């Protein structure tokens, strides 16, 4: 069980605001912090990791006090043993893959854990390579293995997949889920990607201006107040073209391009590059089995 | 998208599906949903909802007689017709609301539809979606 209660003054692009968050996370939960840039998601992660200090509050992880501002307790990052994974990998460039993992081990830890992680992440073949010889997806696998090397009680993922293309991102999602379950490690993911949150997290907390304004099961949170059509995808408009008396919209959904037909007045309200939700009643889609 | 504002007047449901009756003006529309009052808070008798249905799901009929399984039949007047090569958009007046039907130009010709005609608009219950509250866009 992780109990967090922190507040801190933040300087956003639209002026000062207060990060003010209380949350309780059960062992093994996968939480997503969702919200636009600059609402305090990363600051909250950094406060948990000990990379930034909350002005007021307390953090208790499985009974161990990491922060208690009244009692002047504030464990340094290396004593908190969080696994932290960033968007920009942050691997040590002068060390090999194996070196990066070994460096992250706890003092006196068995080096067998490195072998286990190399094997689990399927990066054994890369172990003697330096980070700058790896692809983005490979670097991020190494970064994930390194984040887990210290046997963290808390895994913090700060938009680690946003720079990767859709296919590699999807593969890494599967890896993260598999490892998260394998080690049953409590995880907090910062993301502003609805599909990523729905796929990975069992609870989402929506943040606005330093506060958690909504939380719950991702599907419930994201579908609240929407239409009763059960079939919906978000996508980006790639083309808007007249077609007889109607308009054809070309929409990128995930990595698939689909065309939908719409009326001229609706097409007139849409712009290229805009994100839209495609909704259909659950009755409409015909289902064709693939293969076999 | 066609939109009509209404009020839920009855809900018939099984464990996973509901048949929802919505009063719009003096007519009752019926929508089949894969939601139930347990799964969706807005499914309550008396709730304000917006009916949504696509123009291409609205059929038109002239002097229709006999029995038909379709539940949603409303009397409308044709305001205008925009003819395309394959499809035509028929603008309809329904109790002061604007609805549109997109049918084939061939059908417009076969039914000899013209502005001012009194016709019936037909919408299948499972083509109608409901949105909680009243929305114009």
At B39-57, the pLDDT tens digits run: 888 899 999 999 999 999 9
Domain A2-223: CATH class, spelled out: alpha beta
In chain B, % of residues over pLDDT 70: 98
Yes or no: is domain A231-280 CATH 2.40.50.100?
yes
Measured between alpha carbons, how far apart are the two ends of chain A, in Å?
46
Q: Residue ranges of chain A with pLDDT lower than 70? A: 89, 224-230, 291-292
CA A96 to chain centre: 26
Question: What pLDDT does B137 receive?
Answer: 56
Distance, in angstroms, between A154 CA and closest chain B CA?
33
Q: What digits encode the pLDDT tens for the residues A34-56?
A: 988 888 999 999 999 999 888 89
- Residue A184: count other Cβ atoms within 10 Å of its Cβ: 10
* CB within 8 Å: A228 and B55: no
Domain ranges for chain A:
2-223, 231-280
* CB within 8 Å: B55 and A279: no
C-beta of residue A114 within 8 angstroms of C-beta of residue A100? no
Question: What pLDDT does A224 receive?
Answer: 64
- Residue A202: count other Cβ atoms within 10 Å of its Cβ: 13
Residues of B in Cβ contact (< 8 Å) with A281? 34, 126-127, 129
Residues of B in Cβ contact (< 8 Å) with A286? none
- pTM for this entry: 0.60
Q: What digits encode the pLDDT tens for the residues B62-114?
A: 999 999 999 899 999 999 999 999 999 999 999 999 999 999 999 999 999 99
Of A226, A263, A283, the CB nearest to B126: A283
Chains A and B form CB pairs within 8 A to the count of 52
Query: Which residue ranges form the domains of chain B, and what is each CATH number?
Result: 2-132 (2.40.50.100)
Q: Classify strands A2-12 and A56-61 as parallel, antiparallel or unpaired.
A: antiparallel
C-beta of residue A154 within 8 angstroms of C-beta of residue A188? yes
């Amino acid at each position: 069980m992780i109990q967090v209660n922190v507040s801190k003054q933040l300087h956003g692009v639209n002026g000062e605001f207060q990060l003010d968050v209380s949350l309780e996370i059960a062992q093994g939960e996968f939480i997503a912090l969702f919200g636009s840039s600059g609402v305090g998601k990363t600051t909250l992660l950094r406060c948990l990791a000990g990379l930034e200090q909350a002005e007021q509050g307390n953090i208790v992880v499985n009974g161990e006090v990491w922060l208690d501002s009244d009692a002047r307790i504030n464990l340094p990052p290396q004593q908190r043993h969080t696994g932290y994974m960033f968007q920009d990998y942050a691997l040590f460039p002068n060390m090999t893959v194996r070196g990066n993992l070994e460096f992250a081990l706890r003092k006196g830890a068995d080096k067998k854990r490195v072998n286990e992680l190399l094997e689990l992440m399927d990066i054994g073949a890369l172990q003697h390579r330096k980070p700058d010889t790896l692809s983005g997806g490979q670097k991020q696998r190494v970064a994930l293995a390194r984040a887990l090397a210290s046997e963290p009680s808390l895994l913090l993922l700060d938009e680690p997949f946003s720079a990767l293309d859709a296919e590699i991102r999807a593969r890494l999602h599967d890896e993260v889920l598999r490892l998260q379950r394998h080690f049953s490690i409590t995880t907090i993911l910062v993301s502003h990607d609805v599909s990523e949150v729905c796929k990975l997290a069992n609870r989402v907390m929506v943040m606005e201006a330093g506060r958690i304004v909504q939380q719950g099961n991702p599907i419930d949170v994201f579908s609240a107040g929407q239409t009763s059509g059960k079939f919906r995808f978000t996508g980006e408009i790639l083309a808007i073209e007249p077609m007889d008396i109607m308009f054809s919209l070309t929409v990128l959904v995930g990595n698939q391009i689909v065309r939908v037909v719409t009326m001229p007045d609706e097409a007139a309200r849409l712009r290229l590059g805009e994100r839209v939700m495609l909704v259909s009643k659950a009755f409409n889609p015909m289902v064709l089995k693939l293969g076999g | 998208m066609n939109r009509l504002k209404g009020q839920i007047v009855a809900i018939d449901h099984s464990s996973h599906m509901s048949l929802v009756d919505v009063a719009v003006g003096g007519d009752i529309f019926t929508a089949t949903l894969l939601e139930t009052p347990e799964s969706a808070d807005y499914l309550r008798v008396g709730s304000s909802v917006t009916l949504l249905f696509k123009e291409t799901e609205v059929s038109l009929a002239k002097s229709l007689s006999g029995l038909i399984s379709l539940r949603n039949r409303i009397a409308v007047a044709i305001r205008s017709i925009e003819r395309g090569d394959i499809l035509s958009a028929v603008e309809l007046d329904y109790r002061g609301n604007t609805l549109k039907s997109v049918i084939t130009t061939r059908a417009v010709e076969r039914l000899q539809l013209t502005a001012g005609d009194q016709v019936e608009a037909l919408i299948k219950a499972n083509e109608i979606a409901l949105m909680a509250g009243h929305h114009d866009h």
